[in-house]
Every structure is written in structure tokens, then in C-alpha cells.
Amino acid sequence: MIWLIDGLLQFQPSFFGRAFVTDVLLPNAAGQPGVISGPITWIADVIAPHVAVFNGFAAVLQVAIGLSLIAGRMVRPALAVSFVWGAGIWFVGEGLGAIFTGTANPLTGAPGAALLYVLAGLMCWPRAGGDGLGLIGVRGARWAWAAIWLGSAALWLAPANRGPGAVQSAIASVPTGAGWLDHIVVWAASATAGDGTPIAILMAVLSAAIACAVLAEIDAGLFLGLAIVISLVFWIVGQGLGGVFTGQSTDVNSAPLMMLIASMLLGARTLRTRRAPAWPGAARTARRVGVVGLSAADHAR
């Protein structure tokens, strides 16, 4: 559904003109090291003369990925294409989440939605047997989750994000495109005025706790639930629901992916708990009880 929504957003008229290059791609080169800004600028220049063709291709491709996954046909090829496309978007379309610019903020979407698309796809990969989380398994998914949230903790402590007015400024610049959403964002910006430093410290601590708790499986369910709540709040007040009401959004931003990945980890954890025997002889005892039960029923008849 997320890939399908992104593809439909890509069909918006504004993306078939030069504004797609000047307003979406080229800003990702600003403040980047040369090894990143150079390729982004070059690719933008290549796309510029053919922007309508490229955007049409991107929209159709993303819709095709979404429909393939929903229909359950050609799932592996669709996911494989999504890995390549997602990596390209993360580099060119998101500037690697701006993590090398010093301005990346988890509140507004860092480390970038496209990176999380790839992670979610790896976790969704159909595989016979295994532990239920695709190519990387539950352990790999926990490590990836921990890396993302520990990275978020570090980003919260960056100078650009821990100033007294940093949180208010980040919220105030969120694109909304809807009056009701604008009211919520304005209220949140006013409520956080001057409190950027304690909020950043609190979020750094919570992010580190979410990472470590899930990795070490200490109250993992509780902290995954907390991550879902935090991501939902971020999506509303820090990402404006991905800006989908503005007519200028190419995706739903990172928070829905965070919630999706957390839900997948919760599901895998529940499945593993149900499958695991309560004690070493549980399965053997269950078989014995079953045999006795059947014998008693037969005897009664």
C-alpha cells in the first residue's frame, strides 16, 4: 500500500515539470560533501531535459511494485526492484537522509523513508521456513532497528537539533496543506517554544532505550509500542502526514515505515512466543495429554 500511494503521489502534475528537479532533487545536494553533492547534481542535470518521461516512469514503477505486492504475484522480483529503486531514491531523492549535512532530524524524517523501505522489504521477503522476517531474520531485524534508533539518539544530540528553539523551528516549517492539520502543527510549535534542549535530551534517551530494549529483548513489546506512538506523533506534528495534502509530496515520509517495522517485529515476537514450548518437555507432554484425551473420548463413546 505504501509503494502504491507513493506511485500515485508521483502522478501529481507539479512533478512533470522542471520544479521536480529544482525543488525536489537539487536541494538534496545542498550542504553535502562533494562525493554526495556531485552525483546528485549530475543526475538532476541528466533528468532535467526529460523530467516528464522520468517522472512518468517513476510513478508507473512504484505503482507496479505496490500492485505486485498486494496481488501476491512476482513478489520477489517486485521486492528486488524496490531495493534498487529505494537505494537510488535514498541517495538522489533524499540525499542519504541529510545525515551528512548536520541538519538531519528524526522529528522531520531522518534517516529517510527510502532506507526504511529497503529494510521493510528485506523483512517482507517470502522465505520457506526461517523465523518469519524474510532475508535478515528476527535477529538481523533487531540489529537494524537498534542501529536506526541509536542513530536517531545521536541525531537528537546534534547542535542543530538540541538548541532551545530547534524543535519549535522544525515543527513550524512542516508542510501541511490542510487547515485542520495546520492548527495542530501551530499548536505543537507554540507548545514547544524554548524547550528544544530538554526535548532533544529526552528524545535521545528514549531513542537509545527503544534501541537497546528491543535488541536485548527486555520489555521489547512495551518499547516497540512506545516507538509506534512516538512515530505517530512525529508523523503528525513533525512530518505533516508526509505533506500528502500539499500537492508537493512524493512519499508518506518515514514515520509510517517506522510503525510498520515495529509492528512486524511485534508480530514476529508474538509468533515466536506462541511457537516456543513453555519448558523442554512441553511438546512431549502435550502429545501425551492428547493421546489420553482421545482414549478417554473413545472409551466414553
Can you tell me whether residue 200 is helix, strand or coil?
Answer: helix
Q: Which helix (H) or strand (E) holds 155?
A: helix 137-156
Average pLDDT of the residues in 123-140: 84
Pull the grid cell for residue 120: 521493510
In this structure, which long-range contacts are made by residues 132-141, counting pairs with CB atoms below 8 Å and at least 24 apart in sequence?
Answer: 132/267, 132/268, 132/271, 132/272, 133/264, 133/265, 133/268, 138/265, 138/268, 138/269, 138/272, 141/261, 141/264, 141/265, 141/268
Instruction: Please say if the pLDDT value at position 288 is more than 80.
Output: no
- Kindly list the domain boundaries of the chain, sorted by start residue: 1-101, 106-276
User: Cα angle at 72 between 66 and 73, to 5 degrees?
Assistant: 90
pLDDT in tens, 183-227: 999 999 999 999 999 999 999 999 999 999 999 999 999 999 999
Q: How large is the C-alpha radius of gyration of the chain?
A: 23
Give the burial string for 202-237 (b: 16+ CB within 10 Å, else e): ebbebbbbbbebbbeeeebeebbebbbebbeebbbb
The pTM of this model reads 0.87
Q: How confident is the model at residue 274 (pLDDT cuts 50, 70, 90)?
A: low
Q: Cα–Cα distance between 287 and 245 in angstroms, integer? A: 57
89 DSSP assignment: I
Instruction: Please say if the pLDDT value at position 296 is more than 80.
Output: no
* pLDDT of the residue at 287: 45
* pLDDT of the residue at 300: 45
pLDDT in tens, 84-125: 999 999 999 999 999 999 999 999 999 999 999 999 999 999
Average pLDDT of the residues in 225-249: 96
Per cent of the chain over pLDDT 90 is: 84
pLDDT in tens, 30-68: 999 999 999 999 999 999 999 999 999 999 999 999 999
* pLDDT of the residue at 103: 94
Say if CB 200 and CB 144 are below 8 A apart. no
Q: Is 125 exposed, middle or buried (0-12, 13-18, 19+ CB in 10 A)?
A: middle
Q: Cα–Cα distance between 253 and 249 in angstroms, integer? A: 9
Nearest by Cα to 6 from 89, 83, 73: 89
**CB half-sphere exposure, 123, CA atoms < 13 A:** 25
Average pLDDT of the residues in 258-262: 97
Q: How confident is the model at residue 130 (pLDDT cuts 50, 70, 90)?
A: low
Residue 123 or residue 269, greater confidence? 123
Q: Cα–Cα distance between 218 and 228 in angstroms, integer? A: 17
* pLDDT of the residue at 222: 96
* pLDDT of the residue at 42: 97
For cell 531514491, the residue is 89
* pLDDT of the residue at 129: 63
* pLDDT of the residue at 275: 56
